[in-house]
Amino acid sequence: MKKLFIPILIVLALVVVFAIGAVLWGVGIYNGFVGMDETVQSAWSQVEVQYQRRADLVPQLVSTVEGAADFESSTLQDVTEARTNWLNSGDGTIEEQMDAANGFDSALSRLLVTVESYPALSATENFLTLQAELEGTENRVAVARFDYNNEAQGFNTAIKKVPAMLIANLFGFDAYPYFESDEGSEEAPTVEFDFE
């Protein structure tokens, strides 16, 4: 009986050591995912901060542009609605917020293209100041979106690798969406001015 007891004790010790090692491995992977998830959330917060900065500039820009005679009111309305949609998307999913942000991008781009046909407006000091602030904000938005995509890529890659994906699936870690360009954005827009 003594001869059988020692091998059983060794096997049990190995099973316990293996189980403890597996648990520690799982905890380490889980904690790594939590840290990466927080990093992605932080990067997303920076995107939101820059969009909020843009949203705060838009009323001043719209107000300056409204002073221009014959300016297309539908363009201003589109920008105002896009800003409102983005502001209201804050409680939605990241995908919904991205959709609203892309709508905001598009409306603001149309406004700036339209403004080019109003030389008197584009020459005013107030408009030039706002345009410079908006340009700086657009650069910050681009950097924040780039940083978010990088963090999301790192997280998404980590949760898809074997064997860590077992922990990711077990605890419900899902991939983050990426900011992508709008369909057709690879083609330069056509700008036509009607001087009649």
Q: What is the CATH number of the domain that holds 8?
A: 1.20.1440.20
- Which residues constitute the domain of residue 58? 2-171
Higher per-residue confidence, 176 vs 4:
176
> How does residue 52 score in pLDDT terms, banded at 50, 70 and 90?
very high
Tell me, yes or no, whether 55 lies in a domain.
yes
Tell me, yes or no, whether 182 lies in a domain.
no
E strand segments, the chain = none
Burial-class residue 118 by CB neighbours within 10 Å (0-12, 13-18, 19+): middle
Total domains present in the chain: 1
Tell me, yes or no, whether 154 lies in a domain.
yes
Residue linked to tokens 């860590």:
164
C-alpha atoms less than 13 angstroms from C-alpha of 166 in its C-beta half-sphere: 7
Cβ-Cβ contacts under 8 Å for 137 (sequence gap 6 or more): 50, 53, 54, 57
Burial-class residue 53 by CB neighbours within 10 Å (0-12, 13-18, 19+): middle
pLDDT value at residue 26? 93
- Report pLDDT digits (tens) over 60-110: 888 877 766 556 677 888 888 998 998 898 888 999 999 999 898 888 888
- Report pLDDT digits (tens) over 24-46: 999 999 999 999 999 999 999 99
Angle (CA) 63-65-69 rounded to 5° is: 115
Is it the case that residue 176 has pLDDT exceeding 80? yes
Tell me, yes or no, whether 178 lies in a domain.
no
Tell me, yes or no, whether 184 lies in a domain.
no
